[in-house]
Structure 1
Amino acid sequence: MTSDIVAPVVVGVDGSPTALHAVRAAASQAQRRHRPLRIVHGFIWPLMGVPLGPAVGAPTDGGLRNQAQRCVDEAVATARTAAPEVPVTGAVVDGGAAAVLIAESRDADLVVLGNRGLGGFAGLLLGSVAVQVSAHADGPVLVIRDEPRSDGPVVVGVDGSELSQEAVRFAFEEASRRGADLVAVHAWLFPTPTGPGDILPLSYDLDAYREQEERILAEAVAGWSERYPEVPVRQRLVRGSPAPALLEAAREAQLVVVGARGRGALGGLLLGSVSHAVLHHVRVPLAVVRKPRTVEGS
């Protein structure tokens, strides 16, 4: 991208009701971030070698390509209604939905998508596209399940890792844009072996260990609280597993933010166990944050 092009908010659509929820959420994000909105539909049928135009004798506006374009046109109209002042463009891009959105993420400020599309099984909470994009996108991904709520705090998971700090930064920015409180959640358990031959103490000083975890939480938010003094912050220290603690805090939230991987994640994993569990079970919008990378025009 050239330096005079502003990195857009990108949203994926497939004609499903959930995708239109994602479009409205993406339009709101573009408005808050002062970004243009780009709507894309991953058009996989050219890869299948099937006819794309109308059948012989059928109306000229029939066929798979025209159907895909109508999907994008509907989404563009929805976005313009939701945020009339946001510049909106739409495109049908050849390729699978996940591959298209991952490619789009390289030049995007944020990628937004619904949790399940038309191809999702009714019993699943999360579709394969949402999992793949959350795991492989180059930047932050916002997954929308239903029509987002506008009240409640922004909740962020804290574990002291470098990537957790990126999640905290993202959460403070979102809370500031939304005029919302921020709840920072840090869950802790006693150390467990992480590899063969690990030697752990036979007993622990519970108070000392809790104080250590309190410091991790306090230090994670301290600098950002100074930068965003208008954001009320509540620190929540939970003795237990991180995913259940975040899901409990998410009950009244308007947004949950997690790092793609935490300090307990294996180096080869693109999506850690906590972010994966929350992604599958949280009922409110979830932002999955990766380490920052430079996007021209951002």
Structure 2
Amino acid sequence: MSSNREFGILVAVDGSPESHAALRFAAQEATLRRRPVTVMHVVSPIVVTWPIEPVVTDFYQWQEDNAADVLRRSQETLQSFGDTELDVRIEVRHDGIVTELSNASRDADMMVIGSRGLGPVGGVALGSVSRAMLHHAECPVVVVKEGAVRATDRKLPVLLGIDGSPASEAATAFAFEEASRRGVDLIALHAWSDVAVFPIVGMSWQQREDEGHEILGERLAGRQEAYPDVRVVRRIVCDKAARWLIDEAKQAQLVVVGSRGRGGIPAMLLGSISAAVAECATTPVAVVRDGRHRA
């Protein structure tokens, strides 16, 4: 493990219920990995074009007071986790949120972030910051919704979406590691079609199923030997991959997807399937960009 990854499990907090759910996931992950948790809150600068110095000064003070309150409540959430040996570090940054989190992600094993924060559009399923991190973070990103981390879920499997592209290799490695750490099964799911058109005249489902098993065999080759403790359950489905992953996520403790795959524009950093799953799944979703996972 590279010594410069000083942040360990990096969790971004803003005081929202989602960020407290992210804290609980980060504490669980740090315990499994025996790594520190870095709690980061970013105070964004404000830009004004007219002389209202008293108002600006008051707002600056409110931001600092709010940062202190957010971090205090974050520490209380981590203390309630019950692991007295948890190494917790606190970071306050003053710059653009996306810029600071992106820079910090270079020195983190993983970033954990709430699905949405306290921004002006609170009703959106995936906030602007969490969406930006899926594109720009230099490490795997786990998106967590409020109420997504429950003690009763610890025996549920890890769910991996495999699309057959090389981009899913990093996600596969990550999923095996997570299943091994948790001591649970790994469900490897492959959807042979992104279009719900089954059945089509002249189409052989047996042939498609055989092709799917071949793809899974190729992508899982070597991983099962490296992780003999992980029982792998292979699933071949004929439908839109995102729909199956979102549905299967209800019976999983973590969903792992790659950053892009079949379909879409190769130059795009985030595929439509991973975006849809991160947006809609109620289970924590790890999005692993190709080349961003380092064992």
TM-score by structure 1 length? 0.85
Distance 2:145 2:47 in 1: 29
Match of 1:189 in 2: 193
Unpaired stretches in structure 1, ≥5 consecutive residues: 56-61, 192-201
Pairing 1:229–2:228 present: yes
Shift of 1:113: 0.6
Q: Deviations over 1:223-261 (max 9, x none)?
A: 211111111211000011111111121121111000011
In the alignment, which of 154, 158, 177 is matched to residue 158 of structure 2? 154
State how 1:49-88 maps to structure 2 within 5 Å.
63-82=62-81, 83-88=83-88
Shift of 1:181: 1.2
Give the residue type in structure 2 aligned to 1:266.
Answer: I
Give the residue type in structure 2 aligned to 1:158.
Answer: I
Pairing 1:169–2:173 present: yes
Contact 2:159 2:249 in 1 (8 A): yes
State how 1:102-141 maps to structure 2 within 5 Å.
102-119=102-119, 121-141=121-141
- Between 1:205-214 and 1:254-263, the stretch displaced more is 205-214
Shift of 1:73: 2.5
Give the residue type in structure 2 aligned to 1:64.
Answer: Q
- Between 1:116-125 and 1:282-291, the stretch displaced more is 116-125
Distance 1:168 1:283 in 2: 21
Match of 1:16 in 2: 16
Contact 2:41 2:67 in 1 (8 A): yes
Q: 1:122 to 1:163 in 2, by over 3 A?
A: same
Q: 1:117 to 1:294 in 2, by over 3 A?
A: closer
Give the residue type in structure 1 aligned to 2:271.
Answer: G
Q: Deviations over 1:26-84 (max 9, x none)?
A: 111111111111111111135568767658xxxxxx63212212211321232233232
Distance 1:71 1:31 in 2: 22
Q: Deviations over 1:81-126 (max 9, x none)?
A: 3232121111220123322211111111000010011115343221
Shift of 1:10: 0.5
Contact 2:4 2:107 in 1 (8 A): no
Give the residue type in structure 2 aligned to 1:28.
Answer: Q
Contact 1:120 1:127 in 2 (8 A): no
Aligned length: 280
SS in 2 for 1:263: coil
Contact 1:164 1:262 in 2 (8 A): yes
Q: Deviations over 1:124-180 (max 9, x none)?
A: 221111111111111100110023133321101001212212111111111111111
- Between 1:127-136 and 1:211-220, the stretch displaced more is 211-220
Match of 2:281 in 1: 282
Give the residue type in structure 2 aligned to 1:166.
Answer: A
Distance 1:78 1:141 in 2: 21
Shift of 1:208: 3.0
Give the residue type in structure 2 aligned to 1:234.
Answer: V
Shift of 1:17: 1.6
Contact 2:110 2:142 in 1 (8 A): yes
SS in 2 for 1:226: helix
Pairing 1:256–2:255 present: yes
Distance 1:190 1:91 in 2: 42
Contact 2:193 2:241 in 1 (8 A): no
Distance 2:276 2:292 in 1: 25
Distance 1:211 1:190 in 2: 17
% of aligned pairs identical?
39
Unpaired stretches in structure 2, ≥5 consecutive residues: 196-200
TM-score by structure 2 length? 0.86
Shift of 1:289: 0.3
- Between 1:252-261 and 1:43-52, the stretch displaced more is 43-52
